[in-house]
Amino acid sequence: MRGRGLVLGALGASLVFAAPAFGAQKNVELVKQITEAKNATAINFLEYRDGWRGKRTVMLVTGRFGLKSYDIGNPAKPQLLDELSAERLKLEGDPDVDFGPPDTSAPRSTFWQNEDMDVDQDRKLVLLSRDPRAYAGSTTREPGEPDPNGATNIAGVYIVDAKDPEALRLLAFQPLPTGHTTTCVNGCRALWTGGPASTTRQQTELGWTGGRPIIVTDLSDPRRPRAFPMQPVDLFRRDGVTAYSHDVQVDDAGIAWVSGDGGTRGYYTDGVHYDPLERRHRHATALKPVPYGGGGIGPEHTNDSNGGFMHNAWRPIGKDAPRGDDRYRKGELLLMTEEDFGPAPEACSKQGKFTIASIKGSLNGEAWKSTPTTKFRMPVVGSWSPYGQEGSRLEGQYAPLANFCSAHYFDVDGSTVTYAWYGEGTRLLDISDPANPRQFAYWRPDDGIVWASYLRDGYIYTADRTRGVDILRLTGGAKAARAAKQDLVAPSPSAKQRAFIAAQASDLIADPDTFGLCFLPST
């Protein structure tokens, strides 16, 4: 979750080969745009020993196109190494790949979604989640059920061998009842795969009322993964109701934090720990984890009485935690994204925010004991959204139904949070004061929908639905902006940016099966 080597000063104008995009930007500049990665959803990195040359860093980019590998030894000149295309990831029975007409931004039948791609650094494995909506599929129908789109509706995880990043190899596909995101736990000897919304049968027969939980896969042998579909994890997460377990992040202490409908809850997955529900010490495993802490947050911060739809989270702890407040080092604060698209004119003012909450008071199983009549909620220390911030559209300047303002994936390096906000671009925040996160740089191109942003070796990499991958770096003004600690008034957006967001709104609709989360083609 941590970026590496934040550089606040300019690195030399000679490396900038691409002109900045038109739009709102401050204290950040464009180094390179990789347009061939349009429809990117996530990025990760693998490091290799490269003989006498030393370290070699490879960027993995996933999206509707499949998986691409790039050498980024020179970030200004990324070199495409190999690709596992959407065609190569098709399973038997899947309809043909169809990206739609060239002038549309809404592909019809492609790989989907692998929203938070994980890797096994030691074994050089890449894990690709397959959402049931891949290749024209649906969240409501089961595999094998008659489908009006001819889709298979199969979910699961692909295991990819990237020992040679110039020759990516598909080792296995493991079908699962879940498939929105996949995360390594216990040193990647096990996988936790969660989401998305549940099928009609899963709701009625399995009791997965509000979405799919976590399913565990044993990855001891990458060629022969073993799934445990009848032993789901993270049940009853929304005040006693089983709901959407969206994603997992494992912190530096080994706690696996599961975000989703109802909040974020952390688990021990190894070692002997006290189980507050069973009231005894026992051994934690990936299949039977021990509750640690966490929970939902109140409606005054989420506009949601059910604890909020937490999309992803990170708990800083130890020597790499942000400085400025000792609670970070002690592991007492949890950073969370609520993904929630409220009415477009509200512009992230009431929901879809970045929140910092205290986990103190949650370490005795409170979130697992929470009920609709006796709700447990974590206290909020601070929050942030683009609403009213410099580089943002003002309230009332959003086109009707253009719900492209919500927090999404972020990366943490010390006190810096590099944050994706869909149509509001990438925002860089200083969180040294958890009660007052402050923006010190931003990148909001007129033609971008950013899924995720990452800080790596002094460069920022964004996975953008329409632009592909933008490689950025901070300019010299970033350091001064951090020191100033000032909130500025947002300028008006350009006519081009307003028209772009309106066009995106006509191509995409919020998925009704996920209560307005996740955008799908309108046709």
pLDDT in tens, 95-116: 999 998 776 667 889 999 899 9
Residue 517 has pLDDT above 70, yes or no: no
Q: Which residue has the higher pLDDT, 284 or 23?
A: 284
Give the pLDDT score at 519.
55
- Residue 4 predicted with pLDDT over 50: no
User: In the predicted model, is pLDDT for residue 395 greater than 90?
Assistant: no
Residue pLDDT, tens place only, 442-499: 999 989 999 999 999 999 999 999 999 999 999 999 999 998 887 655 466 677 777 7
The pLDDT mean for the chain works out to 90
Q: How confident is the model at residue 345 (pLDDT cuts 50, 70, 90)?
A: confident
Q: Is the pTM of this model over 0.75?
A: yes
Return the pLDDT at 13: 32
Q: Which of 44-48, 84-88, 392-396, 488-492 has the lowest mean pLDDT?
A: 488-492
pLDDT digits (tens, 9 = 90+) for 296-331: 999 999 999 999 999 999 999 999 999 999 999 999
461 closest CA partner among 24, 9, 28, 23: 28
- Whole-angstrom distance, CA of residue 257 vs CA of residue 266: 4
- CA 464 from chain centre, in angstroms, equals 12
The confidence score (pLDDT) of residue 520 equals 54
Does 169 score more than 80 pLDDT? yes
Q: What is the pLDDT of residue 485?
A: 81
- The closest alpha carbon to 430, from 369, 474, 375, belongs to 474
Q: Which pLDDT does position 17 carry in this prediction?
A: 34
**What average pLDDT does this structure show over 70-84?**
97
- Averaged pLDDT for residues 30-59: 93
**Polymer length in residues for the chain:** 523
pLDDT at res. 7: 39
pLDDT value of position 16:
36
Q: Is the pLDDT of residue 195 over 90?
A: yes
**Range of 48-57, 213-222, 336-345, 509-518 with top mean pLDDT:** 213-222
Mean pLDDT of 517-522: 54
Q: Which two tokens stand for residue 372?
A: 């609709």
> What are the CB-based long-range contacts (under 8 Å, 24+) for 4-9?
4/413, 4/455, 4/456, 4/457, 5/456, 5/457, 5/458, 6/413, 6/414, 6/416, 6/455, 6/458, 6/474, 7/458, 7/473, 7/474, 8/474, 8/476, 8/478, 8/479, 8/482, 9/474, 9/476, 9/479
pLDDT band at residue 506 under the 50/70/90 scheme: low
DSSP letter, residue 301:
H
